[in-house]
Amino acid sequence: MGAIANAVLTAGGEAIGVIPKSLAVKEVAHDSLSELHVVASMHERKAMMAELADGFIALPGGWGTLEEIFEMLTWAQLGFHDKPCGLLNIDGYYDGLIGFLENGFEQQFVNELYRPMLMTEHEPESLLDRFVSYRAPKVRKWMGEDEL
């Protein structure tokens, strides 16, 4: 996250951070961001990030990255937001996960109506282009098959 924030700042962009106080006091916080919000918990962090974001992109990462992108997908499925979600599949990092998710559709554990909610691309420009035209699927109920 720090490398991305630094690249954004170097290019003249705005980088906003949200960090729980327990991590900020351990000197994990980036000290040169445009804005830094210190919140009480990880739950508050994710809620604020969801509110501030126009969309969500998971770059190759670990447990926290996966947890956060799947939470945003779940919130989208439940209708809590209609923002795009994507995996930036650099050097095939997410190939195994994408295969696993495809199996979820094939086995009907995930409704096909939700397939467009997670976009995957190998290049950031392609993913951002898809984000621009994204329209969240509209469904009557999150477990139903009826599209609005």
Count of CB atoms situated within 10 Å of the CB of 91: 8
Q: List % helix, strand, coil for the chain (3-state, nearest 5).
A: 45, 15, 40
| Digitized pLDDT (tens) for each residue of the chain, 148 residues in all | 888 999 999 999 999 999 999 998 887 888 899 999 999 999 999 999 999 999 999 999 999 999 999 999 999 999 899 999 999 999 999 999 999 999 999 999 999 999 999 999 999 999 999 999 999 998 766 555 555 4
The topology under which CATH files domain 55-137 is Rossmann fold (3.40.50)
The domains of the chain are located at: 1-52, 55-137
Report pTM: 0.87
Q: CA 140 to CA 148: how far, in whole Å?
A: 6
